[in-house]
Structure 1
Amino acid sequence: MSRGQLSNPAAIAVVSMIFFTWGGLTSLNDVLIPHLKAVFSMNYAQTMLIQFTFFGAYFLMSLPSGAVVARVGYKASIVIGLVVAAVGAAMFYPAARLPSYGLFLGALFVLASGITLLQVAANPYISLIGDPRTSHSRLNLAQALNSLGTTVFPWAIGPLILVGAVLGADQLAAMPVAEQAAYRASQARSVELPYLMLAGGLLLLAVFVLLMRIPSLREATDAGDDRHHSYGEALRHSHLRWGVLGIFLYVGAEVSIGSFLINYMAEPTIGGLSEASASRFLAFYWGGAMVGRFIGAALMTRFDARRLLALSAVAVCVLLAVTMTTQGQVAMWSALAVGLFNSIMFPTIFTTAIERLGTLTSKASSLLVMAIVGGAIVPLAQGALADRIGIQPAFVLPLACYAYIVWYALRGSRVRSGMSPGPAWSVPAAGPMH
C-alpha cells in the first residue's frame, strides 16, 4: 500500500535544495579559474576552457536530458542527475593526482552533465507544481536558494582551493624545473578534499530525494510525449525563440563577469587583492543575486515581471559602464553590484519563455537549458578580448548582452495572441506516486 505524497509546498522545499547545490557547484568554477590558471601557466583564453567545457555540456546534454525526463519523470531525473554530478566531482581526485588539465576538463564535463539534467528537471518542476499565476515568483524564490549556494560555496570552499600563494608566470619561470613541478603538484592537490566532500554530499542528497515522496509528475511528461511534439513546433512561438537567445546571452554575461572577478579585483588599479582574499569578495556578487531574488519574488506578486526584468537589465548596463570607466573601489564595487540586478533575470526569462506552452513545456525547457551554453561561448570570447585589449575594457561584451535583455523584456517576450498553446498540465496536490 502506497503512502501519500508530500504536499506541493513540501515538495518545492525539497527541490529547492537542488537549486542550492547546483548553484554552489557552478560558482566554484570562478575559484578554479585563477587556481588552474596558475597551476598550468595559462592565458585567459586557455583558462576559459573551464567554462567552455562546463557550459558546453549544457548544449550537448540538454536534449538527452529532456528525453530522460520524458521517460522517467521529474523525481527520478533529479536523482540520476545528482548521481552523475557526484561521479564528476569524484573525478577531480585523479585529475589532481596526475595533475592533468585535460582530466580536470573531463571531470567538469561529467559534473556539468549531471547539473544539466537537474536544470532540465527542476526548473519546470518548480514552475508546474503550483498556481501558474505565481510561477515567476516561485521560480525566483527557488533561484534565491541557488544564489545562496553561489554565495556560500566560494566563501567556505574557495580558500581551501586557493590555500597557497599563487605565483605569477614570471615567478614560476624563475624557479628550477623540479620546484616548478612540485609547486604545480601541491597546488593541484588542494582541490582533492573539497571535491571528494562534494561528491559524498551529492550522493547523500540523491538518497534523500529518492526517499522523499515528492510528486514525480509523470502524468505531465506523458501528456507531452516526445512522439507527439517536436522542437520545431515549440520554436514556432516567438517568445520562446527570443527567450532561448536571452538565456544564452544572460548566462554568458553572468558567467563572464563572475569568471573574471577574482583576476579583476587582483589588478593593482582595481582592488589590489590577493586571489584568496578576492575569492571571499565573490560572496558579494553572488550574495547580491540571492538578496535580489528574495526581493524580486516579493515584488513580482505586485508588479509586472517583464518591467522588472527591463529595469534590472538597464541597471546592469549602467554599472558595467561605470566599472569600465573608473578605477579603484568604484570600479570594483560597481562590478560586484551587478549580482544584485542579475538576480531576477534567469528565472524571469525562463518562466516568460515557457508561458502558455502547455504540453510543449518539456521541449521548451530542454531548449532553454541548452541555451545555457552561452556560459561556454561568451566567457571564451571575453577571454580572447581580455588578452587583446585588457580585462577592464573587455566588459563591453557582457554589456552588449544585457542590452539585448532590455529589448527582450520590453518587446521579445510578448506572447503572440495568434499562437495556440498546448493543453495545460494538471498537477495533483497529492496522490499515489507514478
Structure 2
Amino acid sequence: MSVSNSNKLAIALVTSLFFFWGFVHNLDPILIPHLRNAFSLTHLQASLVDSAVFIAYFLLAIPAGIIMKRYGYKAGILIGLCLFAVGCFLFIPAANQISYAYFLGALFVVACGLTILETAANPYVTILGEPSKATQRLNFAQSFNGLAAFIAPILGGKYILTEQPKSDTEIADMSEQVRIAYIQAETAAVKGPYIILGLIILVVAAVLFFTKLPDIKDDEGDGKVGFFHTLRHKNVKWGVIAQFFYVGAQVCILSFMVLYATEVAGIAPMAAAKYASFTGLAFMLGRFVGTFFMKYIQPLKLLTLYSIICIGLSFIVIYGSGQLTVYALIAVAFFMSIMFPTIFAVGVQGIGSDTKSASSLIVMSIVGGAILPPLLGLISDMTGNLQLGYWVPLICFVVVLLFALANKNITDQAGKTA
C-alpha cells in the first residue's frame, strides 16, 4: 500500500505538531524549580504543576473523541491548537497576579488544548499510511517531541531560571515589600517564552486551517456503542493501563530532573538545566534510534528489552550516589523514549471503527502524569530522601514490561490482534 502525496503532506504537517506540544511539556522541568523557589513550595506542592497539566487529559479526552467523531481529525487539531495558544497567553495575568494558583490554571488550559491535539494527532499518524508501519511511523513523529525535549530546557533555563535563586530562609528574612518585588520579578520571567510560543501556535493553526488535509472516515457502525465498549479489545485495555503508568514514569523522570540533579548530585540550578537538556537529547535520540531498530526488531520485543533496562537503571537512580545517578536518569530517558508511541500504536491497532474511541481512552489514561508525580513528591517529603521517591517510576516500568509480554502475539496487520 503506497502513501499518496496528500497523505505525505498531512504526515509532515501533523508531525510538526509533535514538536510544539513536546516543547511546552518540557518547559515544566524548568517551571517546577522556578516556581518552587519563587513561592517556597514543598516537593508535593511543586509537583502540582504536572497535576494541573495531566488532569486535563483525564477530563478532556472523551470530549476530544466526540469532537473527532463528529467533525473529523482536522477540526480536533485546530481546536486543540487554539486552546493551546489561549493557555499560553494566560501566563500574562498569572505572572501579574503573582499567584501560584493562576499559573496552575493557565497550565490547565494549555493542557486542555494539548489533550484534544494529541487525541487527534496520534491516531491520525497511525492511519495515514501502511498499517504494518503504524508503530514505526508514530515513533518517528514522536521523535520530534523528543527534539523539543532537548531544546526546551536550554531555552527555558536561559530565559526563565534565576542564576542564583534565593533560599527559603533568605526569602523568609525579606521584608514584605522586598519579598513581593522578588516574587514579581521571578514570575515575570515566564511571560516572554509563553507569549512567543502562543503566537507561533496561532500561526501554525492558521496554516493548517488553509491546508487541505485528508480526513480518514471510519465505519462507525450504528453509532450507539459507548466509548468504554472499546475496552473489549485486549490491546486497548492493556494500552490504557500501560499508558497510565508510563506517562507517570515519564513525568517523574523528566519533570524532576533539575530538582534531582541539584538535591542528589549537588549540581547548581543553571548547570542542572543543561543536564535536563541532555536528558531531552537522550530522549530524542532514543526515539530516532528506536525507530531505526524497529525495521529489524519487532516493536514489542524492543519494548520488552527497553523496559528491563529501565528497571535496572532505576535501581541506580534510587540507591546510587553522585553524578552517576544523574547519568542513570539520562539513560532511562533514552530507553523509555519509545514507550509512549509504541503503547499507543499497539493499543489502537486493528480495531477499525473503535480507533477514535480507543484514542480517547488511551489519552485519558495520561492522567497518570497527574497522579504519580505527586506520589513521588509525597514519598520524598515523608522520607526526606528524593531518591526513594523513584520507586514510583520503577514500578511503572514493571507495568510497561507486563504490557509488552501480554501483547507479544499481536500481529502487524490491521484487524488481527492476539
**207, 230, 235: which one pairs with 1:234?**
230
Q: Find the aligned partners of 1:163 and 1:78 in 2 and give their Cα distance.
A: 35
Residue of structure 1 in register with 2:245 after alignment: 249
Residue of structure 2 in register with 1:430 after alignment: none
Q: Find the aligned partners of 2:208 and 2:267 in 1 and give their Cα distance.
A: 41
Quote how far apart the aligned CAs of 1:216 are: 2.6
TM-score (norm 1): 0.91
* Unaligned residue ranges in structure 2 (runs of 5+): none
2:99 equivalent to 1:100: yes
Give the secondary-structure state (helix, strand or coil) at the position aligned to 1:346: helix
Residue of structure 2 in register with 1:261 after alignment: 257
Residue of structure 1 in register with 2:171 after alignment: 172
Verify the 8 A CA contact 2:34 2:162 in the aligned structure 1.
no
Tell me whether 155-164 or 333-342 shows the greater mean CA deviation: 155-164
Verify the 8 A CA contact 2:253 2:333 in the aligned structure 1.
no
Verify the 8 A CA contact 2:247 2:369 in the aligned structure 1.
yes
Give the secondary-structure state (helix, strand or coil) at the position aligned to 1:23: helix
Quote how far apart the aligned CAs of 1:228 are: 3.5
2:384 equivalent to 1:385: no
**316, 319, 322: which one pairs with 2:313?**
319
Change beyond 3 A, Cα 1:373–1:249: same
Tell me whether 72-81 or 156-165 shows the greater mean CA deviation: 156-165
Q: Find the aligned partners of 2:178 and 2:136 in 1 and give their Cα distance.
A: 54
**344, 348, 364: which one pairs with 1:350?**
344
Aligned-residue sequence identity (percent) comes to 37
* Unaligned residue ranges in structure 1 (runs of 5+): 423-434
Residue of structure 2 in register with 1:188 after alignment: 187
Residue of structure 2 in register with 1:431 after alignment: none
2:328 equivalent to 1:329: no
Give the secondary-structure state (helix, strand or coil) at the position aligned to 1:337: helix
Residue of structure 1 in register with 2:283 after alignment: 289
RMSD between aligned alpha carbons?
A: 1.7
Verify the 8 A CA contact 2:301 2:408 in the aligned structure 1.
no
Give the secondary-structure state (helix, strand or coil) at the position aligned to 1:215: coil
Partner deviation per Cα, 1:351-399 (whole Å, 9 max, x = no partner): 1111111110110000000000000000011110110121011111110
Give the secondary-structure state (helix, strand or coil) at the position aligned to 2:256: helix
2:294 equivalent to 1:300: yes
Where do 4+ consecutive residues of structure 1 move more than 4 Å?
412-416
Residue of structure 2 in register with 1:135 after alignment: 134
Quote how far apart the aligned CAs of 1:340 are: 0.5
Quote how far apart the aligned CAs of 1:414 are: 4.7
TM-score (norm 2): 0.95
Quote how far apart the aligned CAs of 1:172 are: 1.1
Give the secondary-structure state (helix, strand or coil) at the position aligned to 1:18: helix
Q: Find the aligned partners of 2:168 and 2:221 in 1 and give their Cα distance.
A: 54
Q: Find the aligned partners of 1:85 and 1:182 in 2 and give their Cα distance.
A: 30
Amino acid at match of 1:236: R
Quote how far apart the aligned CAs of 1:227 are: 2.2
Q: Find the aligned partners of 1:187 and 1:277 in 2 and give their Cα distance.
A: 18
**394, 397, 401: which one pairs with 1:402?**
397
Change beyond 3 A, Cα 1:170–1:288: same
Verify the 8 A CA contact 2:82 2:205 in the aligned structure 1.
yes
Residue of structure 2 in register with 1:77 after alignment: 76
Amino acid at match of 2:197: L
Q: Find the aligned partners of 1:209 and 1:166 in 2 and give their Cα distance.
A: 41
Change beyond 3 A, Cα 1:180–1:42: same
Q: Find the aligned partners of 2:276 and 2:63 in 1 and give their Cα distance.
A: 33
Residue of structure 1 in register with 2:161 after alignment: 162
Q: Find the aligned partners of 1:248 and 1:343 in 2 and give their Cα distance.
A: 15
Q: Find the aligned partners of 1:43 and 1:412 in 2 and give their Cα distance.
A: 40
Q: Find the aligned partners of 2:259 and 2:372 in 1 and give their Cα distance.
A: 17
Quote how far apart the aligned CAs of 1:415 are: 4.8
Give the secondary-structure state (helix, strand or coil) at the position aligned to 2:316: helix
Verify the 8 A CA contact 2:375 2:389 in the aligned structure 1.
no
Q: Find the aligned partners of 1:158 and 1:341 in 2 and give their Cα distance.
A: 24
Quote how far apart the aligned CAs of 1:224 are: 2.5
Change beyond 3 A, Cα 1:225–1:280: farther
Give the secondary-structure state (helix, strand or coil) at the position aligned to 2:16: helix
Change beyond 3 A, Cα 1:163–1:6: farther
Amino acid at match of 1:111: V
Give the secondary-structure state (helix, strand or coil) at the position aligned to 2:189: helix
Q: Find the aligned partners of 1:117 and 1:164 in 2 and give their Cα distance.
A: 36
